[in-house]
Structure 1
Amino acid sequence: MLPAWLETVSDPILQATEAPSVEALHGELLRQWGSSEVWRLSYGLHSVIVKRGTDGQYGEGAMYQRFVIPLDLPAPELIHAGDGVLVLADAGRVTLEQEPTAEGFLAAAELVATIRSRSVDGSSEFPPERVKEMAGRIGRIGFDLSPLTEALAGLHREAPTAVVHGDFVPKNLVTDGTRWTAIDWPGAYLAPHLSDLYTLVRDAVSLGHDREPIIARYIEATGTDPALVDRQLLVGGGCFYLVALMFIVEEGLRTIPESKNWIDGLLTELEDVVGALA
Structure 2
Amino acid sequence: MTNPQTRPDLPHATGGRRIRWDEVPGEVRSAIGRLLGSEVVGAVSQPGGFSEGVAARLRLADGGRAFVKAASSLVAPGVAGFHRREIEISARLPSGVPAPRLLDAYDDGVWVALVFEEIDGALPAQPWRRDEFDRVLAATVDLARVLTPSPIDATKLGPPRLGGWHALAGEDGGGKPGGEGGIGELGALAGGGGADGPAQWVAGHLDELIMLEREAAATLTGETLLHGDLYPFNLMLTPERVFVVDWPHAWVGPAYCDVLTLLSSASLSGLDPQPYVKEHPLTRGLDPEPINVFLAMHAGFLLRLAATAGTAADRHLVDMAAALGGASLRWLRQRLRAIPTSSRQMSG
TM range (shorter): 0.7 to 0.9
Q: Where do 5+ consecutive residues of structure 1 fail to align?
A: none
Bigger CA radius of gyration: 2
CA distance in 2, matches of 1:195, 1:253: 31
CA distance in 2, matches of 1:14, 1:268: 45
Q: Give the counterpart letter for 1:234 in structure 2.
A: N
Report runs of 4+ in structure 1 exceeding 6 Å deviation.
127-130
Pair 1:188–1:131, CA change in 2 (3 A): farther
The Cα of 1:259 is off from its aligned counterpart by 5.2
Tell me the SS of whatever aligns to 2:92. helix
Tell me the SS of whatever aligns to 1:160. coil
- Out of 166, 171, 184, the position equivalent to 1:132 is 166
The Cα of 1:113 is off from its aligned counterpart by 1.8
Q: Where do 5+ consecutive residues of structure 2 fail to align?
A: 1-19, 172-180, 184-201
Equivalent pairs: percent with the same residue?
19
CA distance in 1, matches of 2:88, 2:34: 27
Tell me the SS of whatever aligns to 2:286. helix
The Cα of 1:6 is off from its aligned counterpart by 5.8
Q: Please say if residues 89 and 248 of structure 2, whose CA atoms lie closer than 8 Å, have aligned partners that are also in contact.
A: no
Q: In the alignment, does 2:301 pair up with 1:243?
A: yes
The Cα of 1:155 is off from its aligned counterpart by 1.0
2:53 aligns to what? Answer: 36
Q: In the alignment, does 2:82 pair up with 1:60?
A: yes
CA distance in 2, matches of 1:81, 1:111: 31
- Out of 122, 131, 152, the position equivalent to 1:94 is 122
Q: In the alignment, does 2:201 pair up with 1:184?
A: no
Q: Please say if residues 57 and 186 of structure 1, whose CA atoms lie closer than 8 Å, have aligned partners that are also in contact.
A: no
Pair 1:178–1:46, CA change in 2 (3 A): farther
Q: Please say if residues 135 and 242 of structure 1, whose CA atoms lie closer than 8 Å, have aligned partners that are also in contact.
A: no
1:227 aligns to what? Answer: 286
Q: Please say if residues 95 and 171 of structure 1, whose CA atoms lie closer than 8 Å, have aligned partners that are also in contact.
A: yes
For these two proteins, the number of residue pairs brought into alignment is 267
1:80 aligns to what? Answer: 105
Pair 1:36–1:255, CA change in 2 (3 A): farther
Residues 180-217 of structure 1: CA distance to partner in whole angstroms, max 9, x if unpaired? 22112233334448442122112434435674457644
Q: In the alignment, does 2:30 pair up with 1:10?
A: yes
1:110 aligns to what? Answer: 141
Q: Please say if residues 163 and 190 of structure 1, whose CA atoms lie closer than 8 Å, have aligned partners that are also in contact.
A: yes
CA distance in 2, matches of 1:189, 1:241: 18
- Out of 62, 67, 70, the position equivalent to 1:49 is 67
Q: Please say if residues 212 and 296 of structure 2, whose CA atoms lie closer than 8 Å, have aligned partners that are also in contact.
A: yes
The Cα of 1:241 is off from its aligned counterpart by 1.8
1:27 aligns to what? Answer: 43
Residues 58-117 of structure 1: CA distance to partner in whole angstroms, max 9, x if unpaired? 223333354333242542222214233221211232122467423432244235524652
Q: Please say if residues 43 and 58 of structure 2, whose CA atoms lie closer than 8 Å, have aligned partners that are also in contact.
A: yes
Q: Please say if residues 229 and 249 of structure 2, whose CA atoms lie closer than 8 Å, have aligned partners that are also in contact.
A: yes
Q: Please say if residues 99 and 245 of structure 2, whose CA atoms lie closer than 8 Å, have aligned partners that are also in contact.
A: yes
Q: Comparing both structures, which one devotes a greater share of its residues to helix?
A: 1
1:166-181 aligned at under 5 Å gives the runs 166-181=228-243
Residues 136-186 of structure 1: CA distance to partner in whole angstroms, max 9, x if unpaired? 466326341234225424415xx4144332321111111333222211223
Q: Which moved more, 1:124-133 or 1:113-122?
A: 124-133
CA distance in 1, matches of 2:253, 2:311: 27
Tell me the SS of whatever aligns to 1:48. strand
Pair 1:80–1:253, CA change in 2 (3 A): same
